[in-house]
Amino acid sequence: MAFINSSLTDKASFSVAVETSPGTLPVTPEWTYLEVNSVGDMGETINTVSRDPISNDRMRRKGGIVGLDSNVGFDADLTYSLFDLFAQGFFFSSWEAQASFVPSAVTTSAFTVAADGDLADGTLVYARGFSNSSNNGLFVTDTATETAVEVTDTLVADASPDASKVRLDVVGVQGATGDITMTAAGSLESTTLDFTSLGIVEGQWIYVGGGTTATSFPLSGDGYARVQSVAEHVLTLEKVPDSFGADTAATETIQLFIGSFIRNVAQSSDDFITETYSFEVIYDTLTNKYHYPNGNYADSLSLSMNMQDKATVSYSFVGLDTPVPTSVKSAGNWSSPIDTTMLNTSSDIGRLEILTSSGDEIVPSDECLLQDLTITISNNIEPKKGLGCLETVMVTLGNFNVDISGTMYLTTDQPIVSVRDNDTMGLAVALSNEDGGILLDIPSMTLGDGSRDFPTNDTINVNLSGMAFKDETYDFALGATKFPHLPI
């Protein structure tokens, strides 16, 4: 029997690049390799019709091709880099971003950057990827300049760090000794620090405290909180940990960790964007081995968390076209994602709660009552066809829908009551590891289902579904904060 040189799945390669406009790549695209677990759709599906006339020979006649649907779908482990890569596409919104740099050199006191390095004194920056460990970690800035991010620690000189690996991220701020205090309600006040200078957006979450005695509130400790409002010397917080309360922190230099924030916005918003993608597939043995589905709009995302497992995510894109495979590789630069440590569903979950608007706990943040949770985003993208075109000519953007489903142990009747009463409630889930953190926030939703399972010799479980809706305070259905570094 002759050996068939078939193209193998485990030798295929997948990459993605952001387009300048739907279906059009930049002159020099920046391609990022994808680490996929499985692929559902990757390219075109050809639609054909046959001729089926009335005939005594009882046979069809040759038909023809009438349409082409182009779709991309894959499953992957949830990582910081993967979430960051596609967030703008699925939210149809731009990040309210903290600064990030790729240093070109390191002196004994500063990281050399191209521009915008004149950060305010006390800014927290986190460095990673440098060959000398002394240049990695959390630093506090001091007398920085446009091209030199000066820090208070001593660094090791490095004239040519690897640009594909190194990164310097702004991650927050450190207050002067005794400057940041906490009120009885858990909000923050300052004498010197101007909270409005920190790039904080109402509705985003921050992390209060640096994880050490010197940088945390002595009585209240550390924790996540949502920003309700920002004034020059008052940062009003909500959804604070139960431990938060009046705290002067007279001898501490309190650290606040501030990430970048994204949320769905109205199409009239200045932050509304449409980010589309081209994908590259390489088949290892084909003559024409390069395949490029293009014009891909982010349609649906499903984030799944099962107990004592890894968090996974399923992506689905609706594309404009997938030309036939070619022997010519695209132009561009290729790089691997940096932050690829998987996020697990046990030790990596730092906060998970469902609360009613009145504060009643459906899922308390300090109790592990959920057995599984799935959060699904759908943009309801519809491809549109036209006479004279085989491929999709445009798409329509539907409503931004966010839904949840989950199963929890039945320990109280509160879930049943809240479903029946159609209570407004919110969900927050935070995951983090050494690569950074992701916090997803649904400020307003209602729960449904509420059915119970009674397995023999086991716990009674309650099944929950949820539908997010526009929050009247923050004007979004889903917000996300990414933290390049957290002290947990």
The string of pLDDT tens digits covering residues 67-93 is: 889 999 999 999 999 999 999 999 999
* pLDDT of res. 367: 82
Please give the DSSP secondary-structure letter assigned to residue 99. Answer: P
CA distance 27 to 14: 20
* pLDDT of res. 355: 87
Please choose, from the candidates 305, 263, 300, 264, the residue with its C-alpha nearest in 3D space to the C-alpha of residue 405. Answer: 305
pTM for the structure as a whole: 0.93
Say if strands 277-282 and 260-263 run parallel, antiparallel, or are unpaired.
Answer: unpaired
* pLDDT of res. 7: 60
Please give the DSSP secondary-structure letter assigned to residue 221. Answer: B
Please name the residue that has the structure tokens 């046979």. Answer: 59
Cβ–Cβ < 8 Å for 314, 73? yes
Q: 423: which residues sit within 8 A by CB, 6+ positions away?
A: 356, 357, 358, 360, 417, 446, 447
pLDDT in tens, 435-479: 999 999 999 999 999 999 999 999 999 999 999 999 999 999 999
Q: 66: which residues sit within 8 A by CB, 6+ positions away?
A: 47, 48, 49, 390
DSSP-assigned beta bridge partners for residue 176: none
Integer-rounded Cα radius of gyration of the chain: 26
Element (DSSP H or E) covering residue 256 = strand 255-258
Q: Is residue 442 classed as helix, strand or coil in its secondary structure? A: strand
Q: Which residues of the chain have pLDDT under 50?
A: 1-2
* pLDDT of res. 73: 97
Q: 421: which residues sit within 8 A by CB, 6+ positions away?
A: none
Q: What is the mean pLDDT of the chain?
A: 94
Cβ–Cβ < 8 Å for 296, 310? no
* pLDDT of res. 218: 96
CA distance 260 to 191: 25
* pLDDT of res. 336: 94
Q: Is residue 80 classed as helix, strand or coil in its secondary structure? A: helix
Q: 76: which residues sit within 8 A by CB, 6+ positions away?
A: 34, 35, 36, 37, 82, 312, 313, 315
How many other CB atoms are found less than 10 A from the CB of residue 421? Answer: 11
Amino acid at residue number 37: N
SS (H, E, C) 143-167: CCECCEEEECCCCCCECCCCCCCCE
Cα–Cα separations (whole angstroms), residue 232 to 173, 185, 194, 200, 363: 15, 18, 5, 11, 34
Please choose, from the candidates 225, 229, 187, the residue with its C-alpha nearest in 3D space to the C-alpha of residue 207. Answer: 225
Amino acid at residue number 89: G
* pLDDT of res. 9: 66
Cα–Cα separations (whole angstroms), residue 438 to 355, 369, 467, 469: 19, 21, 21, 21
Please name the residue that has the structure tokens 């406009």. Answer: 21
Cα–Cα separations (whole angstroms), residue 263 to 2, 90, 359, 431, 475: 56, 10, 23, 18, 9
* CA quadruple 72, 75, 80, 86: dihedral, nearest 10: 20
